């Protein structure tokens, strides 16, 4: 997917000015956190589970080479195939080659963020294969030619009236006077339109929430059941996923599944949890004839052993996104690539480079809410700070910002000078603001006063008042 | 107990009364209070901007200024969190200074949690006749676990009634240099916060960090709302008569 993260500021402002987006985000802002909190309160051992989740992922990452080889051998043993893809281009090529060898014309897709990452839909269409998204949210944004704005709720930026408009303009064979008001009506319409697509597809592509090394299985969770139809009806099932989804055992996956839905939607478990191990075996009633796993690296293995390794623990639950006040203000499209919010602010520079995405780790107040809800305890603010450190070391910040910071730090290392300047500033601003008590405009802090008043200082610095008090006490 | 006050750069510049309120409360709790002259700032602006070298240089200055005291106390969860949580991370790869950073971290505190958790303070003698609401500043809440301590002491202030703020744990949009770098996003966050504050019907909003208070007060004024903003220490120390609310005319 083409990154537009450099345009973060303009895109954020567009998001702030978008009334429909703001209406949609207003609902999500409190809804997701409330549901997660209630789910966590119902499970007293949730904090212990987070510890377990973290250690499972840490262990896997420390021995990733071993588990990847074990996983591949188990996939092969169950009759499937693993296609290693270093880059997005290799992943797309692998999918195309599988589709071509089967003479496939249409593919159905369950939701896969890795497929978004590699830009699979555009690539397949350019090569004469029609991909049909089957997750309701993904289907809606495919009709609208938009990228997802959230990793588990890809159409969360839309209000239902926009969805109704999209369905009316795209489902042209249906009665134009039909009622499309309630979400249920739109859901039923999408279901009816998609049903023949499921049956007609030659290939089904899903993502994976977890890959299990000991059995070579992949697991997906959905709330719509579309993943099951995608992977069991066509002749060929392709799992489009990435190397950090691996865990050693079923037991480990079960632990992480207990964390996943609670963190994501506040459900105890997603409606459908589906495990795939190889193609249809002799005697199986259904299932695909071929089972392929396209396993993407795309910069992930380069994160191992760096200050960003912990990010590979991520299980894509979206809790950090759902609790991020910056995401809640601007929505997901502003981030300009596949992964928004705090996890995107760390992952995006890791995968596409800090030159492309410097705003992302900077556009955070470090409020820490993301880290506090992360089911695998990823220190997201700390890693955003690490990106700022790299950016600073590479001199990518605006020169005026660097100069200002250096000047301030130079003064801060000279206490006598610092105190003298603080006293001057305190007196000057205190005097200038003495009538009103605040400033409506301050040329030196325009970014502040454009949107809020700047309270005036009392008029003397603490250290000067304290020194005077100590002197008076000594004189008494 | 010999306690050193880390004044914090914002209190020094904007609101010295908060510093004097902290001294008064610490003395009431039985501490002997010093204000080391050699302090300026904790270095957080440099640290959060990715400038580790300057952050370390400033931290070393803090090590010197605050050596030898039983405790270091700041009227700010953000600055206290810098000493307690971030200095050890800053020196994680520096075996010479890491033990110093860890030793300092172990005796550094946010003011109100120090009063309650270390000094055992359970009530204050102040009075203030207001319906108040309380914003939990992010660093104090999530890095240091400051949540119940200010509410406990505020409940003992004669005349104070507390209305809980919906979303009290959500960031107000200050975020240090964030509010200058991304003013529009910051504006949206503080606009939501101001609406939540107003919806409580409270006369005043309190918090333990001056950065958040300057931000919230500035927005409340810009919206023309008549809601006072004050640092919790001013109220607990009974010093509300000595200084008008943040941003109000003198």
Q: What is the pLDDT of residues B76-134, one digit of tens each?
A: 999 999 999 999 999 999 999 999 999 999 999 999 999 999 999 999 999 999 999 99
Q: What is the pLDDT of residues B194-208, one digit of tens each?
A: 999 999 999 999 999
Q: Check whether residue A297 and residue A420 sit in a common domain.
A: no
Which residues on B lie below 8 Å from A440 (Cβ)?
222
pLDDT of residue A157: 97
Tell me what the mean pLDDT of segment B162-186 comes to. 96
pLDDT of residue B9: 97
Banded pLDDT at A27 (limits 50, 70, 90): confident
Chain A CB within 8 Å of residue B199 CB: no
Query: What is the pLDDT averaged over residues B225-241?
Result: 97
Find, in chain A, the residue whose alpha carbon is nearest to that of B11. Answer: A462
The Cα A461–Cα A432 span in angstroms is: 15
Which of A274, A302, A330 lies at the terminal end of a domain, its last residue?
A: A302
Q: What is the predicted pLDDT for the residue at B55?
A: 98
Q: What pLDDT shows up at residue A28?
A: 85
Domain assignment present for residue A367? The answer is: no
Mean pLDDT value across residues A75-103: 97
Q: What is the pLDDT of residue A29?
A: 86
Is the pLDDT at A34 greater than 80? The verdict is: yes
Return the pLDDT at A475: 85
Residue among B12, B182, B214 minimizing CB distance to A422: B12
Last residue of a domain, one of A269, A302, A335: A302
Confirm if A5 and A335 have CB atoms less than 8 A apart.
yes
- Helix H or strand E segment including A447: helix A446-449
Separation CA A236–CA A288 (nearest Å)? 5
**Looking at the partner chain, which of B54, B180, B189 has a beta carbon nearest the beta carbon of A448?**
B180
ipTM of predicted complex: 0.97
Q: Could you please report the per-residue DSSP string of chain B? A: -EEEE---HHHHHH-HHHHHHHHHHHHHTT-EEE--TT----SHHHHHTT-HHHHHHHHHHHHHHTTT-SEEEES-HHHHHIIIIIHHHHTTT-TTTHHHHHHHHHTEEEHHHIIIIIS-------EEEEEEEE---HIIIIIH--SHHHHHHHTTSEEEEEPPPTTTTS--S-TTTHHHHSHHHHHHHHHHHHHHHHHTT-SEEEES-HHHHHHHHHHHHHTT---EEEEHHHHHTT-TTTSPSTT---
Q: How far is A386 from chain B (nearest CA, A)?
A: 7
CA distance A456 to chain B (A): 6
Mean pLDDT lowest among A70-79, A279-288, B81-90, B228-237: A279-288
Q: Domain for residue A163, yes or no?
A: yes
pLDDT of residue A30: 87
pLDDT band at A158 (very low <50, low <70, confident <90, very high): very high
Spatial contact of A76 and A210, defined as CB atoms under 8 Å apart: no
Contact between residue A284 and residue A79 where contact means Cβ atoms under 8 Å apart: no
Mean pLDDT rounded to a whole number for chain A: 96
**A279 in a domain, yes or no?**
yes
State the pLDDT at residue A443: 87
Chain A residues closer than 8 Å to B27 by CB: none
Interface with A, mutate which of B188, B199, B224 (most A CBs under 10 A): B188
Asked if the Cβ–Cβ distance from A452 to B19 is below 8 Å, we say no
pLDDT of residue A186 exceeding 80, the answer is yes
**Chain A residues closer than 8 Å to B248 by CB:** 437-438
Strands A106-109 and A203-206: parallel
A interface test, pick of B7, B14, B168 with most A CB neighbours within 10 Å:
B14
Q: Residues of CATH 3.40.50.1860 domain(s) within chain B?
A: 122-236
Q: What single string gives the DSSP state of each residue in A368-399?
A: -HHHHH-TT---HHHHHHHHHHHHHHTT-S-H
Note which residues in 137-196 of chain B have CB less than 8 A from chain A.
138-139, 142-143, 167, 169-171, 173-176, 178-190, 192
CA dist A284 and A407 (Å) reads 72
A351 pLDDT more than 90? yes
**Distance, in angstroms, between A459 CA and closest chain B CA?**
8
**Interface contact B182-A412, CB threshold 8 A:** no
pTM over 0.95: yes
Specify if A404 maps to a domain. no
Q: Span A202-221, mean pLDDT? A: 98
Chain A neighbors of B189, CB-CB under 8 A = 325-326, 329, 365
Residue A420 sits in which domain range? 411-475
In the beta sheet, which residues pair with residue B72?
A: B4, B108
Q: What does the pLDDT read at residue B208?
A: 98
Window 11-70 of B: residues touching A by CB (8 A cutoff) are: 11-17, 19-20, 35, 37-41, 43, 45-52, 54, 57-58, 61
Question: To the nearest whole percent, how much of chain A has pLDDT over 90?
Answer: 95
- Mean pLDDT over residues A139-147, rounded? 97
**pLDDT (0 to 100) of residue B102:** 98
In a domain, A33, yes or no: yes
Q: With the C-alpha atoms ordered A58, A61, A66, A70, is the resulting torsion angle positive or negative?
A: positive
Between residues A473 and A302, the one the model is more confident about: A302
Q: Span A335-361, mean pLDDT?
A: 97
Work out how many domains chain A is built from and give that number. Answer: 2
pLDDT band at A444; cut points 50, 70, 90: confident
A377 at interface of B, judged by CB pairs closer than 8 A: no
B122-236 folds as: Rossmann fold (3.40.50)
Distance of CA A89 to CAs A86, A94, A111, A118, Å?
A: 8, 9, 20, 7
CATH of residue A236's domain is 3.40.50.10420
Q: What local confidence, expressed as pLDDT, does residue A445 receive? A: 87
Residue A128 maps to a domain? yes
Among residues A250, A275, A302, which one ends one of the domains? A302
């Amino acid at each position: 997917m083409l990154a537009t993260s450099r345009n973060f500021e303009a895109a954020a402002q567009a998001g702030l000015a978008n009334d429909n987006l703001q209406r949609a985000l207003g609902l999500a802002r409190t809804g997701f956190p409330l549901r997660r909190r209630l789910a966590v309160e119902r499970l007293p051992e949730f904090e212990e589970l987070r510890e377990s989740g973290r250690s499972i992922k840490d262990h896997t990452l420390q021995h990733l080479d071993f588990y990847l080889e074990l996983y591949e051998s188990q996939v092969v043993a169950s009759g499937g195939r693993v296609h290693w893809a270093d880059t997005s281009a290799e992943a797309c090529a692998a999918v195309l080659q599988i589709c071509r060898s089967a003479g496939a014309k249409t593919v159905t897709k369950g939701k896969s963020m890795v497929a978004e990452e590699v830009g699979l839909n555009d690539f397949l269409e350019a090569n004469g294969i029609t991909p049909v998204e089957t997750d309701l949210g993904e289907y809606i944004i495919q009709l609208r030619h938009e990228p997802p704005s959230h990793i588990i709720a890809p159409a969360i930026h839309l209000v239902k009236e926009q969805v109704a408009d999209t369905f009316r303009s795209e489902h042209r064979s249906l009665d134009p006077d039909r009622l499309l008001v309630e979400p249920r009506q739109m859901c039923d319409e999408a279901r009816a339109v998609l049903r023949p697509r499921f049956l007609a597809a030659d290939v089904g592509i899903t993502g994976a929430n977890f890959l299990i090394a000991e059995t070579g299985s992949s697991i997906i969770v959905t709330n719509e059941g579309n993943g099951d139809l995608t992977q069991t009806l066509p002749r060929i099932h392709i799992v489009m996923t990435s190397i950090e989804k691996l865990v050693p055992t079923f037991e480990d996956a079960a632990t992480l599944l207990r964390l996943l839905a609670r963190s994501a939607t506040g459900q105890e478990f997603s409606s459908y949890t589906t495990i795939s191990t190889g193609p249809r075996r002799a005697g199986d009633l259904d299932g695909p004839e071929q089972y392929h796993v396209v396993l993407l690296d795309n910069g992930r293995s380069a994160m191992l052993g760096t200050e960003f390794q912990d990010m590979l623990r991520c299980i894509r639950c979206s809790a950090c996104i759902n609790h991020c006040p910056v995401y809640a203000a601007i929505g997901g499209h502003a981030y300009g690539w596949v992964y928004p919010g705090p996890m995107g602010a760390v992952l995006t520079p890791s995968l596409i480079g800090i030159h492309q995405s410097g705003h992302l780790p900077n556009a955070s107040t470090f409020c820490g809410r993301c880290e506090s809800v992360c089911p695998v305890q990823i220190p997201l603010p700390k890693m955003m700070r690490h990106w700022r450190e790299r950016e600073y070391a590479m001199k990518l910040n605006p020169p005026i910002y660097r100069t200002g910071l250096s000047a301030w730090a130079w003064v801060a290392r000279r206490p006598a000078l610092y105190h003298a300047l603080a006293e001057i500033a305190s007196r000057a601003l205190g005097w200038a603001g003495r009538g009103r008590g605040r400033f409506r405009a301050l040329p030196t802090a325009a970014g502040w006063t454009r949107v809020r008043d700047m309270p005036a200082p009392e008029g003397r610095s603490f250290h000067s008042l304290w020194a005077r008090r100590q002197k008076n006490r000594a004189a008494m | 107990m010999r306690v050193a006050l880390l004044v914090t750069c914002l209190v020094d510049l904007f609101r010295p009364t908060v510093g004097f309120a902290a001294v008064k409360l610490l003395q009431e709790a039985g501490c002997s209070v010093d204000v080391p002259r050699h302090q300026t700032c904790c270095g957080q602006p440099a640290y959060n901007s990715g400038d580790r070298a300057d952050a370390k240089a400033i931290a070393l200055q803090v090590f010197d200024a605050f050596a030898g005291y039983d405790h270091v106390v700041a009227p700010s969860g953000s600055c206290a969190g810098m000493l307690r949580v971030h200095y050890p991370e800053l020196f994680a790869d520096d075996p010479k200074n890491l033990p110093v950073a860890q030793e300092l971290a172990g005796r550094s505190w946010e003011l109100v949690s120090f009063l309650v958790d270390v000094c055992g303070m359970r009530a204050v003698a102040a009075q203030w006749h207001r319906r108040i609401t309380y914003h939990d500043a992010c660093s104090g809440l999530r890095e240091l676990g400051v949540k119940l301590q200010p509410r406990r002491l505020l409940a003992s202030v004669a005349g104070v009634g507390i209305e809980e703020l919906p979303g009290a744990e959500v960031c107000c949009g200050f975020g240090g240099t964030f509010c200058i770098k991304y003013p529009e996003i910051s504006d949206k966050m503080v606009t939501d916060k101001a609406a939540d504050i107003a919806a409580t019907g409270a006369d005043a909003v309190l918090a333990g960090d001056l950065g958040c208070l300057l931000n919230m007060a500035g927005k409340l004024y810009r919206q023309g709302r008549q809601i006072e903003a004050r640092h919790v220490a001013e109220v607990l120390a009974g010093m509300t008569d000595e200084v008008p609310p943040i941003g109000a005319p003198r």
